[in-house]
Amino acid sequence: MPAVGRLMGSPHAPPLDRTALRQAAQWLMRLHAGAEPAPEAFREWERWRAQSADNERAWQRAQQLNAQFSTLPPELARSTLNRKMSRRKALASLGGMAVGLPAAWAAWRIAPWSSWAAEYRTATGARREIRLGDGSIVQMNTASAMDVAFDATVRRVILQSGEILVRTAADAAHPAVARPFLVATASGTVRTQDARFTVRQTDEGCLVSVLEGTVEVAPRLVPAQRLRVAAGQCVRFGDTGADTVQALPAGAGEWARGVLVADNLRLADFLAELSRYRPGIVRCDPAVADLRLSGGFQLQDTDRILSLLPATLPVRVVTRTRYWVTVEARGKAA
């Protein structure tokens, strides 16, 4: 298998082969069509990924697209909703656009495809620390992409996809101006002068969790509706508004230390979170979805996390391939 971390971790990786991009989009549709594919399909998929480094890189980036489907460019998203296009058809359209309309692709700034060309990226399961020019530190979570755009008036990070933890530093380079620190997302902006906080782009919008200091959230389409979020609080917002500010859940930001924290978490939600950190697909049988789980889990070994589940829950882990795992009720007929 190609060295995924090395290929995806470098912002200077060579451009991807268009044929590999098209094939990755086709595999994404095939594996997410609804019904579970036959075992031969998995073997064929693994052979395709192992054929070349370009194939593996294309697959990793296709997974980023799948995770960030909600951040489609507004024009495409609107037409998709108006026609009630299925996820499968939309992915097919995107696959065609990626190889057929490179100029339009390059023009999209906050969209899944633009994350493929971001200045900084992480592979699935990888984390990365970036020290910015002002001394601020950004820790990137799994399958994330961002750009940095500092100027004389603002320190700006553009989160294209995924999740980051920001620890701002005093703006020593421009003490007289006191440039604000801004994180721009598809949902809006997060603004601060001095804080430690996480920003995660999800299908439901953008989730901001403040660990230290204070930030100000502004939805993209109604920037005047600014919301203050203090240390120990979190809020989810979209481009037209924000939810009610909530207390931080247990373990917020612990991913930066390589730990996934569950506090009486539904098994289905736990597995959905775990799947962010491993290549392939993790499915949860509806029969066990509402089982509850608590604990801290080391993310460097997701196989071990899965293997521990039957020791605490009445489940079994069925591994069809390294990249396709199902957690189902113990004793269920094979």
Residue 249 — φ and ψ, nearest 5°?
Answer: -75, 165
pLDDT above 70: residue 212: yes
Tokens of 141: 């979570």
Whole-number pLDDT of residue 22: 76
Q: What is the CATH number of the domain that holds 312?
A: 3.55.50.30
Residue 190 lies in a domain: yes
**Domain finish residue from 110, 139, 174:** 110
**Within a domain: 208:** yes
Q: Is the pLDDT of residue 80 over 70?
A: no
* Helices 53-67, 18-31: crossing angle, 10 deg rounding: 50
In a domain, residue 334? The reply is no
DSSP structure class, residue 248: P
80 vs 101: CA distance, rounded Å: 18
Higher pLDDT, 115 or 312: 312
Reported pTM: 0.68
Which of 209, 227, 247 is the last residue before a domain boundary?
247
Give the residue with greater pLDDT, 67 vs 52.
52
Q: Is residue 36 part of a domain?
A: yes
115 in a domain, yes or no?
A: no
* 252 lies in some domain: no
Tell me how many domains the chain contains.
3
Burial class (CB in 10 A: 0-12, 13-18, 19+), 133: exposed
Integer Cα distance of 189 and 59 in angstroms:
30
Same domain, 66 and 24: yes
What one-letter code names the amino acid at 123?
Answer: A
Boundary residue ending a domain (61, 92, 110): 110
**DSSP secondary structure string for all residues of 247-290:** EPPTTTTGGGGTEEEEEEEEHHHHHHHHGGGSSSEEEE-GGGTT
Phi, psi at 158, each rounded to 5°? -105, 110
> Region 281-289: what's the mean pLDDT?
95
**What CATH number has the domain bearing residue 179?**
2.60.120.1440
| Range of the structural domain that residue 291 is part of | 258-329
Closest CA to 71 of 236, 198, 203: 203
